[in-house]
Amino acid sequence: MRAVVQRVARAAVRVGGETVGEIGRGLLVLVGAAAGDGPSDAAALAGKLAALRIFPDDEGRMNRSVVEAAGEVLVVSQFTLYGDVRRGRRPSFTAAAPPETAEPLVDLVAEGLRRAGVPCATGRFRAHMEVDLVNDGPVTLVLETAGGRVV
């Protein structure tokens, strides 16, 4: 799985003008699943997201996790994270997991975060979404899993 993680002051996702997910201070996580990914990848990603120390401590150093900072997470599925543009001008998405495989994996990431005690909102799978965010920092990281662990 691949995730683009952004520390945010707030974020929201809308579908057809309706807000379907919204958070205050926390993380916006765009998540894509690759062909061959499984539940262990989703669990590893959720665990890493909950434990990432990218929120400031009392001295302003990135030393607190989203759990310690009492933050929230907005998980938004994004298969285009596996777009391959090495050839031609149109991205190829053959590396992305098919929707029937990807959707439960993205759901497992959100479930894993909730089990870790993190309030978690989500977008709507297979929908055209509008995502609003206010970056905090900005702090942006890319995470990737392979074989059930973050690499």
41-72: pLDDT as tens digits: 999 999 999 999 999 999 999 999 999 999 99
Read off the pLDDT of each residue in 67-79 and give the average, rounded to a whole number: 98
- Known catalytic membership, residue 19: no
Structure confidence at residue 59 (pLDDT): 97
- Known catalytic membership, residue 55: no
- Known catalytic membership, residue 145: no
Structure confidence at residue 56 (pLDDT): 97
Catalytic residue among 6, 19, 55, 78: 78
Distance CA 132, CA 30 (A): 12
pTM: 0.96
User: What's the pLDDT band for 136 if we cut at 50, 70, 90?
Assistant: very high
Catalytic residue among 79, 122, 125, 140: 79
Amino acid, single-letter form, for residue 66: V
Helices (H), 10-129: 39-51, 99-115
The domains found in the chain, sorted by start residue, are: 2-150 (3.50.80.10)
Closest CA to 46 of 79, 82, 75: 75
Q: What would the two tokens of residue 142 be?
A: 């890319």
Beta bridge partners of 127: none
Which single residue is written with the structure tokens 């206010």?
Answer: 134
User: What's the pLDDT band for 77 if we cut at 50, 70, 90?
Assistant: very high
Q: How far, CA to CA in Å, does 110 sit from each of 21, 30, 46, 73, 118?
A: 12, 11, 7, 8, 9
Catalytic residue among 80, 93, 125, 140: 80
Distance CA 1, CA 105 (A): 9
